[in-house]
């Protein structure tokens, strides 16, 4: 959960604050690099980055190529234009609609799969539009190119809050799953990062940061390395 501040260059958000707190426990200073979501894992594999915190949902498939340390939990939310936006309560409601998603995310996979399911049942497909980040997806909806946006629930909630009435949430979050700090496989960093996350939780900084970003509902009590997921 991270965003670009109003100056157009500074990265802010829950993940940024937590990353800084974790880095401090590790005795290092975090350096943030903006990257397209679908380029992050390749960047980690090529040693371009040491680790990533970018609202990564932990999945079994991702655990095959990366190590993860869990630190949060979230589902997926739909958001639409506050005036004239369609009512969307489930993936099945996307048939016949244009949907903006961030490339490489769980939401992009779900929307693509739903497009196939809509067509298989004789309904109109989903016009799935892929964007490099959630800001671009939101802009597509704001400009009328898309009717619905999908994002991790805390990200969607924050975007709606900051939209000043332009957007609204539709339906309720679904498919809650853990977020993970992404670490190159067998790099030796997973255990130190896990201990740093535990330390940030123990001294109260974790709770303080979640409250700052209105994300207390996603708090966890026991971080793990590569937790059991689907």
Helix axes 14-26, 190-202, angle to 10 degrees: 110
Give the distance from CA 106 to its chain's centroid: 8
Q: How far apart are CA 129 and CA 105, in angstroms?
A: 12
Q: How far apart are CA 59 and CA 229, in angstroms?
A: 6
- Regarding whether 89 and 46 lie in a shared domain, the answer is no
66 occurs within a structural domain: yes
223 occurs within a structural domain: no
130 occurs within a structural domain: yes
| pLDDT given at position 13 | 87
203 occurs within a structural domain: yes
| pLDDT given at position 34 | 87
Count of domains observed in the chain? 2
- Regarding whether 149 and 114 lie in a shared domain, the answer is yes
| pLDDT given at position 8 | 76
229 occurs within a structural domain: no
94 occurs within a structural domain: yes
Picking from 125, 108, 107, the residue whose alpha carbon sits closest to that of residue 116 is: 125
- Regarding whether 141 and 82 lie in a shared domain, the answer is yes
DSSP label at residue 6: T
- Regarding whether 188 and 102 lie in a shared domain, the answer is no
- Regarding whether 98 and 7 lie in a shared domain, the answer is no
- Regarding whether 136 and 106 lie in a shared domain, the answer is yes
Tell me the two tokens of residue 82.
């506050």
213 occurs within a structural domain: yes
Burial class (CB in 10 A: 0-12, 13-18, 19+), 117: middle
| pLDDT given at position 161 | 87
- Residue spans of the chain under pLDDT 50: none
Determine if the pTM surpasses 0.85. no
Per the CB < 8 A criterion, the answer to whether 74 and 152 are in contact is: yes
| pLDDT given at position 114 | 98
Picking from 190, 172, 170, the residue whose alpha carbon sits closest to that of residue 180 is: 190
Tell me the two tokens of residue 86.
């369609």
Q: Which domain holds residue 90?
A: 76-175
- Regarding whether 126 and 137 lie in a shared domain, the answer is yes
- Regarding whether 151 and 184 lie in a shared domain, the answer is no
| pLDDT given at position 158 | 84
| pLDDT given at position 4 | 75
| pLDDT given at position 154 | 84
95 occurs within a structural domain: yes
- Regarding whether 8 and 119 lie in a shared domain, the answer is no
Per the CB < 8 A criterion, the answer to whether 180 and 71 are in contact is: yes
Residues 6+ apart with CB under 8 A from 189: 50, 51, 67, 183
- Regarding whether 182 and 156 lie in a shared domain, the answer is no
């Amino acid at each position: 959960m991270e965003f670009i501040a109003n100056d157009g260059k500074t990265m802010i958000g829950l993940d940024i604050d937590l990353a800084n707190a974790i880095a401090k426990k590790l005795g290092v200073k975090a350096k943030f690099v903006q990257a397209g979501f679908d380029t992050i894992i390749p960047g980690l594999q090529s040693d371009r980055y040491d680790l990533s915190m970018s609202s990564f949902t932990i999945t079994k498939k991702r655990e095959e190529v990366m190590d993860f340390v869990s630190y949060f939990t979230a589902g997926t939310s739909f958001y639409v234009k506050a005036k004239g936006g369609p009512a969307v309560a489930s993936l099945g409601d996307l048939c016949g609609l244009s949907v903006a998603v961030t490339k490489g995310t769980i939401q992009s996979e779900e929307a693509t799969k739903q497009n196939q399911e809509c067509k298989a049942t004789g309904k109109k497909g989903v016009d799935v539009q892929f964007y490099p980040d959630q800001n671009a997806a939101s802009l597509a909806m704001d400009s009328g190119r898309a009717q619905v946006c999908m994002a991790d629930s805390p990200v969607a909630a924050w975007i709606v809050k900051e939209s000043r009435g332009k957007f609204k949430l539709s339906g309720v979050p679904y498919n809650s799953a853990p977020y993970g700090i992404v670490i190159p496989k067998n790099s030796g960093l997973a255990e130190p990062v896990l201990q740093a996350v535990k330390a940030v939780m123990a001294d109260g900084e974790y709770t303080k940061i979640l409250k700052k970003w209105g994300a207390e509902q996603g708090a966890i009590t026991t971080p793990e390395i590569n937790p059991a997921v689907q």
